Amino acid sequence: MIKINNTLTTDHDLSRFLLKDPVSSCLLWYFILDHPGQDEGGSLISVQELAEKLGFTRRVIQKRLDYLIGKGLIIAYSSEFYGGKRLPSNYSINFNSEFFIKTARRKTIIKEESPDVNRMIEMFTDINKSIHGQEYKPSSDPQRGKWVKGAEKIIKLEIDGQPFSMDVYEKVVTFLAHEMKRHIDTGDTYAMRVRDLGNLMYTTEQQTETKYVRAYRKQKVGDTSHITNLLKENDGQEYTPVSGGADNSLWAPL
């Protein structure tokens, strides 16, 4: 539980700082609301993502982050470069700041991971490396936490009434690895690019379907195209799937 030290009153330096700077206050509220509720943890997020979520420019967000760090309200940890690209920073609340009241530390109950999580992470790493040579895997504990959350969300996901299966997951990851290879080889900006399991479950206000669901639907279309091409090779006739109507056959000629 997070407790704010309201004995500071509005005359304290920290209070005056936050009252006069609504952008810094907004950022601090984001980190408070995104906090898991224990002393451990933080927000693994890029400056660009914060700018998009809060409706400010990237420059304004970076400047206010520097303010909050300088005032000692938050602590930032910048991950090492990974695959030629810097990972998002991890921002955590500084509970040693006067602005917060330290609460008695409770024994943390470690949540047991699904036995499929490790397999999903290893499969994602191995498939991507075998198809395009890039090794995508968590490089720190906060980064792994993001991967684990993504994997657990995928396990609970149902698509068109169908529960999660490892076979479908493997097909989706393989499809995405080929999409990444297309981007690497040709620079195609329309190719889907996914480098971790957390990003697989990412949505925006404009795109409410997760990347996992969109990739699943695209690879399903790819499976159908493969069958159509196979039939065409056999008899020279092109076939298309029939979804309904009087003809109940699976395939009907054009």
Spatial contact of 90 and 44, defined as CB atoms under 8 Å apart: yes
Does 55 have pLDDT greater than 70?
yes
Other Cβ atoms within 10 Å of 82 Cβ, number = 17
Which structural domain, as residue segments, surrounds residue 212? 116-233
Q: Which whole number is the average pLDDT over 170-185? A: 94
Nearest residue to 79 (alpha-carbon basis) of 91, 94, 93 = 91
3-state SS assignment for residue 158: coil
Of 69, 101, 133, the position where a domain reaches its end is: 101
Does residue 239 lie within any of the structural domains? no
Rg of the chain, C-alpha, whole Å: 24
Residue-level pLDDT at 92: 85
Dist. CA 14–CA 25, nearest whole Å: 11
Q: Count other C-beta atoms under 10 Å from residue 198's C-beta.
A: 20
- In this predicted structure, the answer to whether residue 133 has a pLDDT above a threshold of 70 is yes
- Output the pLDDT for position 122: 93
pLDDT computed for residue 182 by the predictor: 93
44: three-class secondary structure by DSSP = strand
Q: Are residues 124 and 196 in the same domain?
A: yes
Residue 53: give its domain's CATH number: 1.10.10.10
Based on the fold, state whether residues 67 and 133 are members of the same structural domain.
Answer: no
pLDDT band, residue 132 (cuts 50/70/90): very high
The 10s digit of each residue's pLDDT in 3-12 is 888 888 888 8
Which spans in 106-210 are helix H? 116-132, 141-156, 166-186, 197-200
Domain total in the chain: 2
Q: Model-level pTM? A: 0.48
Q: Are residues 122 and 95 in the same domain?
A: no
Q: Which of 78-92, 110-124, 171-185 has the lowest mean pLDDT?
A: 78-92
**Is 106 inside any structural domain?**
no
The string of pLDDT tens digits covering residues 143-161 is 888 899 889 999 999 998 8
